[in-house]
Chains A and B, each alone.
Chain A
Amino acid sequence: DIQMTQSPSTLSASVGDRVTITCRASQSISSWLAWYQQKPGKAPKLLIYKASSLESGVPSRFSGSGSGTEFTLTISSLQPDDFATYYCQQYNSYPITFGQGTRLEIK
């Protein structure tokens, strides 16, 4: 199985900050990576697919980059609605696996 490791596990930041979350794969997954946002009690919401493609309707302050084994999700200017947990997911091969999550909290 491909292991996905996110860092940090928790990130404290303020409104307006630029933040970056990292996701590393245990082997190359090309660009087959998605990012999700999850708020408490809600289902995950797709933000990014194919490492850097922004899902329709997702604000442009979200961006993704990377290929191979290292990927990043960047939020250019944090808004109050962005405080949530973020997950990466690889779909290079079965079984589909997720990172353990990064909780973004208000500083």
Chain B
Amino acid sequence: QLQLQESGPGLVKPSETLSLTCTVSGGSISSSSYYWGWIRQPPGKGLEWIGSIYYSGSTYYNPSLKSRVTISVDTSKNQFSLKLSSVTAADTAVYYCARLEYCGGDCPNWFDPWGQGTLVTVSS
């Protein structure tokens, strides 16, 4: 059974870079049938898609965050990562990683399964 696990610092200072890693187990991140995404949820609020990546390195980013986001993949470690630069308190959220079915080309999809999420707080 595929599982995803987020990891990284739980506290980041304002203006610094948030870095998280998602480790995939029970399946290969290099499968041509899937791609991988990040979603966040501020405390008590709704869900926001951050971006997605295919094992080849092709990426899709939310325009609202694109200037600050980098998503990368490390197939040798079965991991993909998120970097969000110049963070502010508004970036405080639970960050989730998830899998999406690849539908060929430039098409989004639904998320399943999800990691358990990790809370990142931006504060000095």
| A-B residue pair count with CB separations less than 8 angstroms | 55
A95–B63 contact, CB under 8 A? yes
> Chain B residues near A82 (CB, 8 Å)?
none
B96–A98 contact, CB under 8 A? no
**Chain A interface secondary structure, helix, strand, loop or mixed?**
loop
Size of B's binding interface in residues, CB under 8 A: 23
CB-nearest residue of chain B to A89? B110
Q: Which of B19-27, B44-52, B81-89 contacts A (4 or more CB under 8 A)?
A: B44-52
Q: Does B102 contact A (CB under 8 A)?
A: no
A79 CB to closest chain B CB (Å) equals 22
Known pairs A49-B110, A89-B111, A96-B108; A43 contacts B96 (CB<8 A): yes
B108–A98 contact, CB under 8 A? no
Q: How far is the CA of A95 from the CA of B39 in the complex (A)?
A: 12
Q: Does A22 contact B (CB under 8 A)?
A: no
B114–A43 contact, CB under 8 A? yes
A-B contact pairs, 30 of them (CB 8 A): A34-B110, A34-B111, A42-B116, A43-B114, A43-B115, A43-B116, A44-B47, A44-B96, A44-B111, A44-B114, A45-B114, A46-B113, A49-B110, A49-B112, A91-B110, A93-B108, A94-B60, A94-B106, A94-B108, A95-B49, A95-B63, A95-B64, A96-B52, A96-B62, A96-B108, A97-B49, A98-B49, A99-B46, A101-B46, A101-B47
Known contacts A95-B63, A100-B46; 5 further A-B pairs (Cβ under 8 A): A44-B114, A46-B110, A89-B47, A94-B106, A95-B64
The 6 closest A-B pairs by CB, nearest first: A34-B110, A43-B114, A46-B112, A96-B49, A91-B108, A98-B47
- The chain B residues found within 8 Å of chain A, CB to CB, are 46-49, 52, 60, 62-64, 96, 98, 106-117
